[in-house]
Amino acid sequence: MNQTINTLTEEKRALETQLDNQREVLAAAVRDMHALQTRVANAERILSEHKKDLSNFRQQLGSLRDTATFEQFSAQMEEFRVAIQEHEVQLVTLKREAMKVVDHRPSAASGNSEARMDRHEHQLALHDVNLAEQDIKIQMLEATSYDGMYIWKIDAWPKRLQEAKSGRTPSIYSPPFYVGRFGYKVCARAYPNGDGMGKSTHLSVFFVIMRGEYDALLPWPFHHKVTFRLLDQEGQVDVTDSFRPDPNSSSFKRPTSDMNIASGCPTFISHNTLRTRGYVRGDTLFIKITVDTGGIQVY
């Protein structure tokens, strides 16, 4: 009898120890689950903020040609992509950790955790990034020229001028184009309300050397003549101005950043002339930018 009692007592102690261990495991699992839920909630909040930023960014794509360079938008796009991908990886890791934890909890908790960490919304956000990136590439292809000449269409001119006067958007950029298929990458920059000597009285137009894919093959500094021509839509008299680059200016050396400092014509055309001639029709004007390609080796 005593032996039976001793045996039962030992079994009871073993069961109590096992129960205590299970309670500790369950308590740890609960703590881990709460910690995971907090981390998931933070990750989902950050992803939601990225999606809002992405939505605002996509709304700006329609005015890409007039408001910023491709490089600037590409940098922002890459930031969105990296941030969303990082949080995607984080959520996948959290999901795996949670599956290990919920094995110690009732099945209903497992279902709730599974639903909470659903990945469909995050994958849709990545699809939105990819689509936006494709939109930019398509617009770039449509706008690109390789012969040293580009006609820049500036629409909504009254709005552009008013935004420049208010200081909201002092300048606008043309889409990039190449001087030769594998040559210099350039663009134009306009100040509707003028800059420098033309401030508040003229439309100022400048030329910008951008960092391109083939800069290592090209001679520097850039030394080719640049001509701006404001096209008279009534076929009368165009406005033309040109300049030859100063080889000592940093504006025409090989770029070390996305673009060099702009250089050009601060008093290209006065506001008075713009109002009295046929340069603006349907709130739209056209500026032809031509780079003298003489002596440029086209690879």
User: The domain spanning residue 209 has which CATH number?
Assistant: 2.60.210.10
Has residue 297 been placed in a domain? no
Q: Per-residue pLDDT tens for 142-186?
A: 555 667 889 999 999 999 999 999 999 999 999 888 888 788 999
Distance between CA atoms of residues 298 and 147, nearest Å: 10
Q: State which of 142, 176, 201 marks the end of a domain.
A: 142
Distance between CA atoms of residues 7 and 253, nearest Å: 92
What pLDDT shows up at residue 276?
82
| Element at 130 (helix H, strand E) | helix 120-143
18 lies in the same domain as 55: yes
Whether residue 136 contacts residue 71, with contact meaning beta carbons closer than 8 Å, is answered with no
Has residue 270 been placed in a domain? yes
As averages over each run of 10 residues, the pLDDT of the chain (299 residues) reads: 57 64 67 70 66 60 49 56 60 61 50 50 56 57 69 94 94 88 90 96 97 93 96 92 95 95 96 89 95 69
- Strands 263-270 and 177-179, by their bridges, are unpaired
130 lies in the same domain as 151: no
16 lies in the same domain as 154: no
25 lies in the same domain as 124: yes
126 lies in the same domain as 185: no
Has residue 296 been placed in a domain? no
The residue to which tokens 């990945």 are assigned: 119
- Strands 285-291 and 263-270, by their bridges, are unpaired
51 lies in the same domain as 121: yes
Has residue 8 been placed in a domain? yes
What six digits make up the tokens of 262?
A: 């702009």
Q: Which of 104, 122, 126 is nearest to 113 (CA)?
A: 104
What pLDDT shows up at residue 7?
61
What pLDDT shows up at residue 181?
78
Has residue 196 been placed in a domain? yes
Please give the radius of gyration of the chain, using alpha carbons only, rounded to the nearest integer: 32
- In the chain, the number of structural domains is 2
53 lies in the same domain as 187: no
What six digits make up the tokens of 91?
A: 């959520």
Phi-psi region of 76 (alpha: psi -120 to 50; beta: other; left: phi over 0): alpha
Residues 6 or more apart in contact with residue 39 via CB below 8 angstroms: 90, 94
287 lies in the same domain as 154: yes
My answer on whether omega of the bond before 106 falls inside 30° of 0, hence cis, is no
What pLDDT shows up at residue 281?
93
Distance between CA atoms of residues 33 and 44, nearest Å: 16
What pLDDT shows up at residue 198?
95
CA distance to 25, 154, 157, 281, per residue, from 284 (Å) = 72, 6, 6, 5
Q: Which of 11, 30, 8 is nearest to 19 (CA)?
A: 11
Q: Is the torsion defined by CA of 220, 242, 246, 69 positive or negative?
A: negative
The residue to which tokens 């903020």 are assigned: 49
Q: State which of 82, 114, 142 marks the end of a domain.
A: 142
284 lies in the same domain as 155: yes
Q: State which of 81, 109, 142 marks the end of a domain.
A: 142
| Element at 274 (helix H, strand E) | helix 271-276
- The 8-class DSSP code of residue 196 comes to G
Q: Is the torsion defined by CA of 281, 143, 229, 253 positive or negative?
A: positive
Residues spanned by the domain of 44: 2-142
162 lies in the same domain as 113: no
| Element at 94 (helix H, strand E) | helix 70-102
What pLDDT shows up at residue 180?
80
Helices (H), 144-194: 157-166
Whether residue 201 contacts residue 194, with contact meaning beta carbons closer than 8 Å, is answered with yes
Has residue 299 been placed in a domain? no
213 lies in the same domain as 284: yes
Q: Is the pTM of this model over 0.85?
A: no
189 lies in the same domain as 252: yes
